[in-house]
Amino acid sequence: DAEITQSPRHKITETGRQVTLACHQTWNHNNMFWYRQDLGHGLRLIHYSYGVQDTNKGEVSDGYSVSRSNTEDLPLTLESAASSQTSVYFCASQGANTGELFFGEGSRLTVL
Amino acid sequence: GQQLNQSPQSMFIQEGEDVSMNCTSSSIFNTWLWYKQDPGEGPVLLIALYKAGELTSNGRLTAQFGITRKDSFLNISASIPSDVGIYFCAEQIQGAQKLVFGQGTRLTINP
């Protein structure tokens, strides 16, 4: 069965370190998204991509970057982690016909 | 940017009770989606609405796309313990493919 997977599921890092969260989908979807989930804020869009070599900023993109070198992967990088980036991060890919988002299981990041 | 206001933020109910939650927007949208997130997992689509006035059911769940295209509600009838979780409304921005999510409604059920 096609799926979307995130890794790592849990990570603890220190302020100033570079962190990369991986996202891999096997549906061959063009559209992929990264959201962060925080109490009281719901899901906020960080970055998204509509295809290979395409990346776009979402509403909370500062301090994050993504790259899209193939259809299957959209890694999210925190260049210099800050405590404000402690959160649960969700990757999603989007079905072409319905617009439905399929989410990964999330990556919980703690920045100390 | 677009804002979605989802209410209530949390609900504490008894098993067997009906539940109602809603979302309102400052803008007009073409698509309303309702997602549920179980603890420790990613959100999963429950119901999608594509037309103003549309009323759609999925088992004990019923959702409606408001006639003004600025609001939607989700009802759950005869709640059961597995209904516990966070419910999100989401809208697809006109002319784009990305989704904007509400703040979520956290549902807790007392047996």
CA distance A40 to chain B (A): 6
Q: B41 with A105: CB under 8 angstroms?
A: yes
Residue A100: the pLDDT is: 85
Q: Tens of pLDDT along B21-39?
A: 999 998 887 889 999 999 8
Q: Average pLDDT of A54-66?
A: 96
List the one residue out of A93, A111, A79 whose CA is nearest residue A34: A93
Q: Tens of pLDDT along B36-83?
A: 999 889 999 999 998 899 999 999 999 999 988 889 999 999 999 999
Q: Average pLDDT of A47-73?
A: 96
Between the two ends of chain B, the Cα-to-Cα distance in Å is 40
Q: Tens of pLDDT along A3-17?
A: 999 999 999 999 999
Q: Does B59 touch chain A (CB under 8 A)?
A: no
User: Could A99 and B43 be called an inter-chain contact, meaning their C-beta atoms sit closer than 8 Å?
Assistant: no
Q: pLDDT: is B87 or B26 the higher one? A: B87
| Token pair belonging to B52 | 């103003």
Kind of pairing between the strands at B85-92 and A42-51: unpaired
CA distance B82 to chain A (A): 18
* Residue A86 scores a pLDDT above 70: yes
Give strand pairing partners of B91: B32, B100
Residue A15: the pLDDT is: 97
Q: Does B80 touch chain A (CB under 8 A)?
A: no
Q: Does A87 touch chain B (CB under 8 A)?
A: no
Return d(Cα A69, Cα B12) in angstroms, integer.
46
Q: Tens of pLDDT along A21-49?
A: 999 999 999 999 999 999 878 899 999 99
User: Could A99 and B97 be called an inter-chain contact, meaning their C-beta atoms sit closer than 8 Å?
Assistant: yes
Q: Which residues contact A75 (CB under 8 A, 6 or more apart)?
A: A20, A21, A22, A23, A66, A67
Q: Does A44 touch chain B (CB under 8 A)?
A: yes
Element (H, E) at A55: strand A54-57
Residue A3: the pLDDT is: 92
List the one residue out of A34, A72, A37 whose CA is nearest residue A51: A72
Measured in degrees and rounded to the nearest 5, phi and psi for residue A83 equal: -60, -30
Report which residue type is found at A14.
E
Give chain B positions within 8 Å (CB) of A58. Answer: 98
